[in-house]
Chain A
Amino acid sequence: MIAALLERLRMGDRNALARLVSFVARGEHLAELNIALGHAVNREGEAPAEPEASANAIAGASGSAGASPSRSPCPARVVAFTGSGGVGKSSLIGKLIPIVRAQSKKIAILACDPQSPLSGGALLGDRFRMGSPLDDGIFIRSLAAVSGRGAIADHVDVMIRLCEAFGFDVIFVETVGSGQGDVAVRNLADVVVLLLQPESGDDVQWEKAGILECADLVVIHKADLPSADQTAAQVRMALDLSSACHVPVLRVSTKANQGHAELWEAIDALPLRRQQTSAARLLFQLAAEALEQRFREGDPEVLKVAEAWQRGELPTADAVQAVLRILTHV
């Protein structure tokens, strides 16, 4: 079934892409997809051509019948947008979409919103701020992110590779928007764009470790507000104190429709830093999730150890070892 869906995806079937993303979001068929996509990306000339491109290739290949359209596998530019809730990530992306499309680049957007830790439900409300594009070169997918997992949905890296296999040139990942410490995006994006807004912290705020260190580009959004210049100056100073002095700080106002073209130019000029996800990392991640699942299920043996530790019958180091032994014993 996965092979058939992948075949349809490579033929440009959006429904197949959407269905495969659903599997990945649920953590299903990950190993199978990881292997299949690994081959697709690595093999020369195997990059999936978009329908128009393959049509052109066939039309132009009349002299050499049977020659496969060899389009060098071109990795997509993956851009992560992060920043606190309400800073304007979705609206900013909505403004960047037409700019990217004007360069004839196909764009996929993976927009994460929080999933309730209580009900498991989620209101995924990013896409309605991005307009309602009917353009086949745009794919927007809303994803629910479990809290405490780095502000993005699980396995977004595999979803990125699915979008690449479909033929998207640019992939935007929008984080849930916690703003502090959500550094997981750095591993899967070429460029991390951090959005800040005026009046969102004093000069010590920017000295805190975490997300500012991870940003490749800082946007002072809502730059139409009066204190935008001051915030930009504070952030600039904080960045200049460290080796991150090359990080650009751009002022953008979606309300006043200013700065978006310059922002995309700056993003597009940055190098592609992303490394191919190693198979090992996926395996470790799956193992970590399995372990976490066992923790959540509340193994009775573990609870017994916890009770003994609480009563003071077991030294802490021994209790930790005992828990690890129980949880890793399959």
Chain B
Amino acid sequence: MNQPIRIVLAKVGLDGHDRGIKVVARALRDAGMHVIYAGLWQTPEAVVRVLADEDADWLGVSLLSGAHMTLVPRILDLMREAKLEHVGVMVGGIIPEADVPKLHAMGVARIFGPGTSLDDIVAFLKEPREPKP
């Protein structure tokens, strides 16, 4: 069935730069997705709670604070605890190249850095996935 993709977009930790995530939110909305905007200064615990209650297909977190190697593993751990491994995770923002393979190894599906075209993000999210358990 052609059901809209449900994606939670959140800024985690002490990071007030939300222009990028709002632009992405608009692009995904216009691509026919249901975007749940969780906003700024979220804790990993709060984000995982949103994923559960919203029965999301995807999580998009944006980090420009440099805290990604602390916060992203924490989110992934909490997602496993909450039995939400089926939710795909994408990360956007300023992620140094050296950290990209490490985040992939932890289970992040895709990392989008500066200069990414919105079409690429939309196309990536619309790739066929295994149905939810």
Please report A residues at the B interface, Cβ cutoff 8 Å: 14-15, 18-19, 21-22, 26, 115-116, 119-125, 127-128, 132-134, 139-142, 144
Contacts and interface: CB of A to CB of B under 8 A. Distances in A.
A320 B6 CA distance: 40
B52 A18 contact: yes
Given A15-B84, A121-B28, A144 B55 contact: no
Interface stretch (B42-50, B64-72, B95-103): B42-50
Contacts of A18: 52-55
Interface stretch (B32-40, B104-112, B113-121): B32-40
Contact of A121 (B3, B34, B38, B45): B34
A139 B53 CA distance: 6
Nearest to A131: B46
B25 interface: yes
Nearest to B40: A128
B55 A19 contact: yes
B43 A132 contact: yes
B36 A120 contact: no
A142 B36 contact: yes
B23 interface: no
Contacts of A124: 34-37
Interface string B71-86: 0000000000011100
Contacts of B54: 18, 141-142
10 contacts: A18-B52, A18-B53, A22-B6, A116-B29, A121-B33, A128-B38, A128-B39, A140-B50, A140-B53, A142-B54
A201 B20 CA distance: 37
Given A26-B3, A128-B38, A134-B45, A121 B32 contact: yes
Chain A interface main SS type: mixed
A119 B82 CA distance: 32
A127 B50 contact: yes
Contact of B32 (A14, A15, A119, A134): A119
B31 interface: yes
A128 B37 contact: yes
Instruction: Please give me the 7 A-B residue pairs with the lowest Cβ-Cβ distance, nearest first.
Output: A128-B39, A132-B46, A18-B55, A121-B29, A120-B32, A22-B55, A125-B37
B26 interface: yes
A97 to B, nearest CB: 13
B55 A127 contact: no
Nearest to A125: B37
Given A14-B52, A134-B45, A119 B31 contact: yes
Contact of A141 (B37, B46, B53): B53
B35 A123 contact: yes
Contacts of A14: 52-53
Contacts of A15: 52, 55, 82-84
A26 B5 CA distance: 12
Name which of A119, A124, A140 has the most chain B CB atoms within 10 A of its CB: A124
B17 to A, nearest CB: 16
Given A14-B52, A15-B82, A21-B55, 14 more contacts: A15-B84, A18-B53, A18-B54, A19-B55, A22-B6, A22-B55, A119-B31, A121-B32, A121-B35, A123-B35, A128-B38, A134-B43, A141-B53, A141-B54
B77 to A, nearest CB: 16
B3 A119 contact: no
A21 B28 CA distance: 22
Nearest to B30: A119
A7 B36 CA distance: 28
Interface in B1-28: 1, 3-4, 6, 25-26, 28
A127 B38 contact: yes
A293 B36 CA distance: 27
B9 to A, nearest CB: 9
Contacts of B38: 127-128, 132
B83 to A, nearest CB: 6
A144 B4 contact: yes
A311 B43 CA distance: 64
Contacts of A119: 29-32
B116 to A, nearest CB: 19
